[in-house]
Amino acid sequence: MLLSGLLCLALLSAKAQQADSAALVNAFVDSIEATLNFQTGTVTLKDGLATIKIPAGFKFLDAKQAQFVLSDLWNNPPDDTSLGLLVPGTTKIMGPGVWAFDIVFDEMGYVEDDDADDIDYDELLTEMKADALAANEEREKQGYTTIELVGWAAKPYYDANRNILHWAKELKFGESPTNILNYNVRMLGRKGVLVLNAIADIDKLPLVQQNVPQVLSAVNFNEGNRYADFDPDVDEVAAWTIGGLVAGKILSKAGFFAVIAKFAKPLIIGLLALLGGVWKWLRGRASA
């Protein structure tokens, strides 16, 4: 796919030697977008576990494409847990202002919610900040950007009637001047937790919050997998409760994705400069 993109840029350079670099960046972004197969309508997740009716104004990428976007395009650590990405319909994966919901399922068992009203979330935040800093050494060893947990962008809230937990974290990646929003949603089911993690720049918080109700209404466990379907005689109870989910002890990768599309433009412009130099050299050779 990347080679195809490079070929596209080379051809564009040949046809428009003096083209504006921004136009070439847009062409490169469009060439990547054209290779992705977005879905609408109704999608079944994980062999009948849950169903998502793609909301109006959204489009869906399946697991394989989602993993490519998260790891290869957005430069996150390789991870095969994603079931798909839910992306606003007018957004381009490598375009400005991109954001998305990453969908994951953790088959951890039935999560008891008895502690939901007893958690001190300010104290928990202090522990989470320390955990994030402790993980940075390993991230640096693997060549990834360090992460600082700045604080809550929205404090944790548990809807006991729908068995849905959600909260938002503000994260700082390396020296980036723009902080990242991770809006976390956990839908409790019979055998585990369905994770909907919104990945966006921090200024997108109002937009994400505006769309959360619509997305939550669109995603549902299928019969037999719902929280109410739990059978204590045959089903396993998770080792973690509500507090553990918020702390991120489970699915720690899911909470630390960074949209780096905003960093892609300088990278692509540098690539275009290189291709432009090659083109000039080829023209010089042809003239000689």
What topology does CATH give the domain 38-257? Answer: Protein Transport Mog1p; Chain A (3.40.1000)
Q: Is 265's pLDDT higher than 70?
A: no
- Per-residue pLDDT tens for 190-217? 999 999 999 888 898 999 999 999 999 9
Closest CA to 79 of 52, 103, 100, 107: 103
Rounded Cα–Cα distance for residues 31 and 253 (Å): 29
* 179 CB neighbour count, 10 Å cutoff: 17
Q: Whole-number mean pLDDT of the chain?
A: 82
User: Model pTM?
Assistant: 0.74
End-to-end Cα, the chain, rounded Å: 34
* Every domain of the chain and the residues it spans: 2-29+267-287, 38-257
Sign of the CA dihedral with 39 first, then 215, 123, and 237 last: negative
Where does the pLDDT of residue 277 fall: very low under 50, low under 70, confident under 90, or very high at 90 and above?
very low
Sign of the CA dihedral with 18 first, then 21, 25, and 26 last: negative
Where does the pLDDT of residue 4 fall: very low under 50, low under 70, confident under 90, or very high at 90 and above?
low
DSSP structure string for 179-218: -EEEEEEEEEBSSSEEEEEEEEEGGGHHHHHHHHHHHHHH
Q: At what angle do helices 21-33 and 261-287 cross, to 10 degrees?
A: 110
